[in-house]
Amino acid sequence: MRFYILVCLLLSSFASAQQSASAFDPAAKVATAQLLSTANGVNGASVLSMGLKITLDDEWKTYWSSPGLAGAPPSIDWQGSDNLANVEWLWPIPQRMMVYDVETYGYKHEVIYPLQVTVTDPSKALALQAKTTMLVCREVCIRAQVNLTLNLPATDPSIDKASSAQLQTYVTNVPVEISATSASLQQLGWDSTSSQLVIEVAGLTEPVVDGFVEGVDFTLFSRPEITQKEGVTRLIMAVEDMAGTPARLDPNQTLKVTLTSKEGGVSFTDNITPTIIEQTLPSWVYMLLLAIAGGFILNLMPCVLPVLSIKLLGVVESVSESNAQRRINFLLSAAGIFVAFWLLGLLFIGLKYFGIGFGWGVQFQSATFLLIMIPVLVLFALNLLDKFDVQLPQSLMDKISGSNKGHFYQGIFAVLLATPCSAPFLGTAVAFALAGSSWQIMVIFSGLAFGLSLPYLLIAMWPNSVKIMPKPGLWMVRFRQFLATLLCATLVWLVWLLQAHLTMLLWTLFSLIICAMVILLIVKPGPRTLVTTFTVYLLLANTIIWAPASVADLTGDNVASTSTSTIQWQAFEPEKIADYIAEGKTVFIDITADWCITCVVNERAVLQRSDIIKRLNADNVVAMKGDWTKPDKQIETYLKRHGRYAIPFNQVFGPALPQGKLLPELLTKEAVTVGLTQAGQ
């Protein structure tokens, strides 16, 4: 997808290259250019301070010396100039910009590129002929040329104060060579296993806020993770090619690195050296414990609790089973959980290898997956209500019964229902795993499996512990009805998720047919009714899958999702965050989805509180909401860039937190309040 977008951007720039060769097309009305000079005459100076000023309309952008995955920096052909010896370009620090899911580096609204102009004879006048080529982009790119002239007499002692003031701001933002400062490069290392670049610099006087790397074409160096310890600033960047897969750098590759602060920064050029980036904090033991804790908490989430309860209910009903048989049954369920998590891990490894986007719980974005899960839940619920008993061929019944596959499949089913839940600690552990290598993914997913299967394993170790449960009786009928109600609630939730993929008319029809099916199976249970109703369901599901309204526009524009709260949400547009910060505003980001239960809990328990609503609606706060109910490449890329593969995702930016601060998966009033306060300090 990223490659396709890059091709489109390149084609759009070539298509627009037929602009006038002598002047910028006035019909475009998106950019203007002019030459500035601090002095109104040469006055015997061998080097003059000048600048190329480009003014851009609205959201149009132009580029830095290294534009990123797309774009091109401006250039000037000085042919025809008189008394000109050399021109040195200086590049003010850029900002990260997004066009679709392609990251570029450059400037919006206005930029002045400082120019150090060397004259041939300081005693003579200077006549400049500047044939300027520039690429400006928004949804499309326009490549245009404009002819600029600037004539300075041999003597004129006056100073252009307006130009001097404008240039000074941008000259201050030009990074200086590290050799001209008290800082020193300690390491420029490349970890080929994790495709990460590590940079360590000592003696910096200003805190680093970002880092940019030049020297490799069509390669993206992510926004760095920045830490500081004992006077040494450490940056770690993930490196990808234009397809979004881990990149490979040549040994002894020469790179130019620019580290930026609030004003200016430092730059240096050096060769990379092989290294291994040690995982210090968070440590492996710590992250594995988080995975186990997150997996265990999943048992208490409304997605999974009915499955565990059904398992315990089955134990009480099977009073004749021996402890050995109970142990085997629970071990089989635990095995199903481990196998399901291992299969998920292998799936993520494959998707990562081929550069395909993925995330925790994203299968609930698929209408096909929902259509498969809905009848499964119907069968579970009706079975709890004793409304049907499907008779399979005796040979198959004997095979299933003898191998206890039902217990194994219960474990797999528990994992399927667990994936839309992002329990506390789970998101951190999953992000840590998916950002690492293949074996790291498998280890962390094994920890998640151990945590989710822990209740099963404990009962397998002490099968007599089930004796503390009440003896069989009428309470079991009532409890089965309660569990069936929970599963029906989950069923309603799955049907509701389908409305994101269907037209309202088709979704209403589908909902009514599902209700009719369930009522018919309850009122008139039996194999014939079951076969008839599910035949109708299969026909309906097939129609939905192939309906144009269902398969079209699954990646449509992401707008702020509707909410019952009164928060003034804006559409999720990460490219505008830097502009809001520059205006002194605080930005609160909430990425959610209808299938994310933890997101719903966060919204109702925290974000809908009157005091939080008041803070998010303040004049100096911008609240952005991204809806990931359906696939959205922009959201997927943003999460990946911040090392997250699961939602909920909440982040706060501000003048005091230009790099942003991630909030915990399970929000609290204190976490949101403290984050907003810190960002706006």
Question: Is 134 or 465 the better-scoring residue by pLDDT?
Answer: 134
What DSSP letter does each residue of 31-97 carry, written as one string? EEEEEEESBSS-TT-SEEEEEEEEEE-TT-EEEEEEEESS----EEE-TT-BSEEEEEE-----EEE
Q: Assign residue 255 a region: left if phi > 0, alpha if psi is -120 to 50, beta otherwise?
A: beta
Res. 74: pLDDT tops 50: yes
Give the pLDDT confidence score for residue 397 in this predicted structure.
39
Res. 85: pLDDT tops 90: yes
Confidence of residue 19 (pLDDT cuts 50, 70, 90): very low
Cis omega (within 30 of 0) on the bond before 648?
yes
CB 145 within 8 A of CB 20: yes
Confidence of residue 396 (pLDDT cuts 50, 70, 90): very low
Res. 355: pLDDT tops 80: no
The DSSP symbol for 429 reads H
Confidence of residue 501 (pLDDT cuts 50, 70, 90): confident
**C-alpha dihedral, 112 to 117 to 122 to 128, nearest 10°:** -80
Q: How many CA atoms lie within 13 A of 264 on its CB side?
A: 15
Mean pLDDT on 454-464: 81
CA 375 – CA 180 distance, rounded (Å):
70
What's the one-letter identity of residue 668? Answer: T
Cis omega (within 30 of 0) on the bond before 282?
yes
Give the pLDDT confidence score for residue 636 in this predicted structure.
79
Give the pLDDT confidence score for residue 575 in this predicted structure.
83
Lowest mean pLDDT among 230-234, 313-317, 530-534: 313-317
Give the pLDDT confidence score for residue 606 in this predicted structure.
85
Res. 164: pLDDT tops 60: yes
| Alpha-carbon distance values, 595 to 343, 418, 429, 430, 555 (Å) | 22, 11, 20, 18, 17
Confidence of residue 78 (pLDDT cuts 50, 70, 90): very high
Query: For residue 267, what are its two tokens?
Result: 């730059």
Give the pLDDT confidence score for residue 413 in this predicted structure.
73
Query: For residue 60, what are its two tokens?
Result: 């149009």
Question: Is 565 or 456 the better-scoring residue by pLDDT?
Answer: 456
**What is the percent of the chain where pLDDT is above 90?**
22
pLDDT tens, residue by residue, 615-640: 999 888 999 999 887 777 788 778 87
pLDDT tens, residue by residue, 398-448: 443 445 666 787 778 777 766 555 555 565 666 666 666 677 788 888 888
pLDDT tens, residue by residue, 561-614: 444 458 889 989 888 888 888 888 899 999 988 777 677 778 877 888 888 898
Res. 127: pLDDT tops 90: yes
Mean pLDDT for the chain overall: 77
CB 292 within 8 A of CB 451: yes
Mean pLDDT on 233-257: 83
Give the pLDDT confidence score for residue 337 in this predicted structure.
87
Q: How far apart are the first and last CA of the chain?
A: 39
Res. 5: pLDDT tops 70: no
Question: Is 646 or 588 the better-scoring residue by pLDDT?
Answer: 588
331-348 burial string, b = 16+ CB within 10 Å, else e? bbbbbbbbebbeebbeeb
Question: Is 603 or 139 the better-scoring residue by pLDDT?
Answer: 603
Res. 50: pLDDT tops 90: yes
Q: Which residue has the tokens 């309603």?
A: 492
Give the pLDDT confidence score for residue 399 in this predicted structure.
42
Res. 332: pLDDT tops 90: no
Confidence of residue 128 (pLDDT cuts 50, 70, 90): very high
Lowest mean pLDDT among 88-97, 361-370, 375-384: 361-370
| Alpha-carbon distance values, 84 to 43, 45, 150, 151, 349 (Å) | 15, 12, 12, 11, 57
What's the angle, vertex CA 82, arms to CA 76 and CA 87, rounded to 5? 40
The DSSP symbol for 24 reads -
Mean pLDDT on 670-676: 87
Query: For residue 479, what are its two tokens?
Result: 């409890």
Cα 102 to its chain centre, rounded Å, is 13
pTM: 0.50
Collapsing DSSP to helix, strand or coil, 361 comes out as coil
352-372 burial string, b = 16+ CB within 10 Å, else e? beebebbbbbbbbbbbeebbe
CA 344 – CA 335 distance, rounded (Å):
14
